[in-house]
């Protein structure tokens, strides 16, 4: 399917619109045309009758509005918003068949911030049902017979296909990082709590995090400046960060081909002058993972207690199974799992400090996007970092032997979002395609 992949730079769009090189109406018309041409195949957006007219009206409003000082930072930029995030005027379906009136709520804070920055809401993007386990119809623009990942499938595919330069997703375990890797775009999950969750349907509140999809790291910086609480300029730093590779059972979950590409990524970064420390960590990962998932499932069941009691037959069996697993977790088991999660976080913090690691690096997913749309892939490579609430970024880096994208996952300390993105600008450059061979080459 030639022509499906065409990422567009948020920074370029902002520059063009703010200098009026292309007016907001013309820019919006181009977005409308791209969505009309490509989305029938990719299916990144939730169907919306009258989308084009709504966007044209919003663009007219922006173009004729009197701005008191200067144009806002995302003036005229079309943005996709995952369909568990409330947007006034657009129903929230969450990939489900539940009545929309039971899911409705006030507009999300993240949407308020987008609109205040001058963005246009291009539409709702497809999500797995309630951001859990039942994928939607979205296809991977690189290979339409392959999954785009989940649960923020529509947001990742919309950016990869050039439908929008910025899309909003959410991550509970791996729902930003994995689809970004599968679709060959940059996914950024801030520190837990850095973007308010008000107006976002809950999955597992102690994990849930609003994140972004963009074409480049510089684009992710532009978005984060608008969306994150108390954003600061990254402090001036000298030298490169020390990179940590988490040796042990965790990396054993990666497929051989993806692990070989990860080794290439590490070698490329060493050659570029980065210090890389291989650190034995997550030695008991398989046991830890059980407790980490217990927290997630219990909170999922609690979030859906009312809806599932009223509409059990309307849930996809895969979502229902996850909820029923969570209902079997008693209060004592949940409390015990929370203690184990805190102990896991403490061990990771101690290892990070003891070995002087600034940024952990790891494969963003277990391998390239699987074939088929029913299997959205495995979130295990994101699990430890999500459980610790750490800021995480995936940078496109290399391809499989079948030419599907692969990504490098980069993780910094809690609250170090600014530093992570600052460092990632250079990491992205060091991992450019001309420096990093594809698998098997």
Q: What is the pLDDT of residues 277-302, one digit of tens each?
A: 999 999 999 999 999 999 999 999 99
HSE-CB at 261 with a 13 A cutoff on CA atoms is 33
303 is annotated as an active-site residue? no
Closest CA to 348 of 393, 375, 387: 387
Round to whole Å and give the CA distance between 264 and 256. Answer: 12
- Look at the block and give the residue holding tokens 């609690």: 302
Q: 219: which 2 tokens?
A: 């684009």
Round to whole Å and give the CA distance between 111 and 192. Answer: 18
Mean pLDDT across 411-424: 97
Please indicate, yes or no, if residue 238 is contained in any of the structural domains: no
SS3 content of the chain, % helix, strand, coil (to 5): 40, 15, 45
Contact 171, 211 (CB under 8 A): yes
Question: What is the pLDDT at residue 395?
Answer: 98
Give phi and psi for 84, each to the nearest 5: -120, 5
Q: For residue 180, give the CATH number of its domain.
A: 3.90.1300.10
Q: How far is CA 73 from CA 13, 67, 79, 190, in A?
A: 11, 12, 13, 20
Question: What is the pLDDT at residue 20?
Answer: 78
73 is annotated as an active-site residue? no
104 is annotated as an active-site residue? no
Round to whole Å and give the CA distance between 172 and 200. Answer: 12
Q: Which helix (H) or strand (E) holds 432?
A: none
Q: Is the pTM of this model over 0.85?
A: yes
Phi-psi region of 373 (alpha: psi -120 to 50; beta: other; left: phi over 0): alpha
Round to whole Å and give the CA distance between 395 and 438. Answer: 15
Of the residues 96, 153, 155, 175, only one is catalytic, namely 175
Q: 336: which 2 tokens?
A: 């015990």
Q: What is the pLDDT of residues 51-78, one digit of tens each?
A: 999 999 999 999 999 888 889 999 999 9
Round to whole Å and give the CA distance between 175 and 134. Answer: 13
Q: Where are the alpha helices (DSSP H) in 234-284?
A: 256-271
Of the residues 151, 153, 382, 400, only one is catalytic, namely 151
Q: 131: which 2 tokens?
A: 């951001």
Q: What is the pLDDT of residues 227-282, one digit of tens each?
A: 999 999 876 666 899 999 999 999 999 999 999 999 999 999 999 999 999 999 99
Q: Indicate whether 148 pLDDT > 70.
A: yes
Structurally, the chain folds into a number of domains equal to: 1
Please indicate, yes or no, if residue 25 is contained in any of the structural domains: yes
Of the residues 82, 124, 189, 340, only one is catalytic, namely 82
Please indicate, yes or no, if residue 223 is contained in any of the structural domains: yes
The pLDDT > 90 percentage for the chain reads 93
Q: What is the band of 441 on the pLDDT scale with cuts at 50, 70, 90?
A: very low
Q: Which of helix, strand or coil describes residue 110? A: helix
Nearest-Å Rg of the Cα atoms of the chain is 21
The conformation of residue 204, written as its DSSP 8-state character, comes to -
- Look at the block and give the residue holding tokens 């088929």: 372
List the domain range (segments joined by +) for residue 99. 10-227
Please indicate, yes or no, if residue 265 is contained in any of the structural domains: no
Please indicate, yes or no, if residue 164 is contained in any of the structural domains: yes
Q: Where are the alpha helices (DSSP H) in 328-407?
A: 331-354, 383-387
Please indicate, yes or no, if residue 252 is contained in any of the structural domains: no
Q: Indicate whether 406 pLDDT > 60.
A: yes
Number of helices and strands in the chain (H, E): 15, 10
Contact 399, 439 (CB under 8 A): yes
Q: What is the pLDDT of residues 207-231, one digit of tens each?
A: 999 999 999 999 999 999 999 999 9
Please indicate, yes or no, if residue 417 is contained in any of the structural domains: no
Please indicate, yes or no, if residue 171 is contained in any of the structural domains: yes
Closest CA to 76 of 118, 110, 30, 33: 118
Question: What is the pLDDT at residue 1?
Answer: 42
Partnered with residue 80 across adjacent β-strands are 123, 167
Contact 98, 311 (CB under 8 A): yes
Round to whole Å and give the CA distance between 181 and 265. Answer: 14
Question: What is the pLDDT at residue 120?
Answer: 98
Q: What is the pLDDT of residues 347-367, one digit of tens each?
A: 999 999 999 999 999 999 999
Question: In a 10 Å sphere around its CB, with 0-12 CB exposed, 13-18 middle and 19+ buried, how is residue 311 labelled?
Answer: middle
Round to whole Å and give the CA distance between 35 and 41. Answer: 10
CA dihedral (301, 394, 183, 292) in degrees, to 10, reads -20
């Amino acid at each position: 399917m030639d022509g499906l992949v065409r990422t567009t730079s948020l920074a370029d769009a902002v520059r063009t619109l703010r200098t009026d090189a292309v007016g907001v109406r013309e820019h919006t018309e181009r977005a409308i045309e791209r969505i009309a041409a490509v989305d029938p195949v990719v299916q990144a957006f939730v169907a919306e009758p009258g989308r084009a007219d709504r966007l044209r009206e919003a663009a007219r409003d922006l173009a004729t509005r009197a701005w008191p000082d200067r144009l806002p930072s995302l003036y005229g930029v079309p943005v996709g918003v995952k369909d568990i995030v409330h947007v006034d005027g657009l129903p929230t379906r969450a990939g489900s068949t539940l009545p929309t009136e039971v899911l409705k709520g006030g507009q999300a804070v993240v949407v308020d911030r987008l609109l205040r920055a001058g963005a246009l809401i291009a539409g709702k993007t497809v999500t797995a049902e309630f951001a859990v386990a039942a994928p939607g119809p979205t296809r991977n623009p690189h290979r339409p017979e392959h999954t785009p990942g989940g649960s923020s499938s529509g947001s990742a595919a919309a950016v990869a296909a050039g439908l929008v330069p910025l899309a909003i997703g959410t991550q509970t375990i791996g729902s930003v990082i994995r689809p970004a890797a599968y679709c060959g775009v940059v996914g950024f999950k801030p520190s837990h709590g850095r973007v308010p969750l008000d107006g976002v349907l809950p999955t597992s509140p102690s994990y849930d995090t609003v994140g972004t999809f963009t074409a480049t790291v510089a684009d992710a910086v532009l978005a984060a400046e608008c969306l994150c609480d108390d954003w600061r300029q990254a402090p001036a730093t000298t030298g490169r960060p020390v990179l940590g590779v988490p040796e042990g059972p965790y990396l054993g979950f990666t497929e051989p081909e993806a692990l070989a590409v990860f080794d290439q990524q590490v070698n490329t970064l060493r050659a570029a002058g980065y210090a890389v420390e291989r650190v034995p960590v997550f030695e008991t990962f398989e046991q830890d993972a059980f407790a980490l998932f217990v927290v997630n499932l219990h909170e999922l069941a609690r979030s859906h207690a009312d809806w599932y009691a009223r509409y059990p037959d309307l849930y996809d069996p895969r979502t229902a199974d996850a909820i029923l697993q969570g209902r079997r977790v008693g209060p004592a088991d949940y409390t015990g799992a929370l203690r184990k999660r805190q102990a896991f976080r403490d061990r990771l913090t101690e290892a990070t400090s003891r070995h002087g690691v600034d940024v952990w690096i790891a494969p963003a997913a277990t391998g390239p996007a699987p074939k088929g749309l029913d299997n959205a892939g495995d979130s295990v490579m994101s699990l430890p970092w999500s459980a610790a609430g750490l800021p995480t970024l995936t940078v496109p880096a290399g391809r499989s032997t079948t030419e599907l994208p692969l990504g490098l996952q980069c993780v910094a300390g809690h609250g170090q979002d600014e530093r992570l993105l600052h460092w990632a600008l250079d990491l992205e450059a060091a991992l450019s395609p001309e420096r990093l061979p594809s698998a098997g080459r």
